Amino acid sequence: MNAKKEFFVDFDSKKLVSAGILLTILVLLTYSYSTALLAFDAPRSDYPLQITQVNTLDAGNVSESNFVKGDLLRFDATIEKALRYMNFPFNYDYYDFIGDTNTKIIVTVKDPNKLPVFFEASQVLIDVGEAYVFSTDFVISSQAVSGVYSYTVMVWSDWLPSGNSLSVSVWEDVFNVS
Give the chain's residues under pLDDT 70. Answer: 1-3, 35-45, 84-98
DSSP state of 32: H
pLDDT of residue 59: 94
**Sequence-distant (≥ 6) Cβ neighbours of residue 32 within 8 angstroms:** none
Compute the distance between CA of residue 20 and CA of residue 165 in angstroms, rounded to an integer. Answer: 49
Compute the distance between CA of residue 46 and CA of residue 156 in angstroms, rounded to an integer. Answer: 11
In this structure, the answer to whether residues 61 and 142 fall within a common structural domain is yes
pLDDT of residue 8: 75
pLDDT of residue 177: 97
The CATH number assigned to the domain holding 71 equals 2.60.40.1930
User: Which range of residues forms the domain containing residue 81?
Assistant: 49-177
pLDDT of residue 178: 94
pLDDT of residue 39: 54
pLDDT of residue 68: 96
pLDDT of residue 41: 47
Q: Are 84 and 96 contacting, i.e. CB atoms less than 8 angstroms apart?
A: yes
The domain tally of the chain equals: 2
Compute the distance between CA of residue 77 and CA of residue 154 in angstroms, rounded to an integer. Answer: 10
pLDDT of residue 47: 80
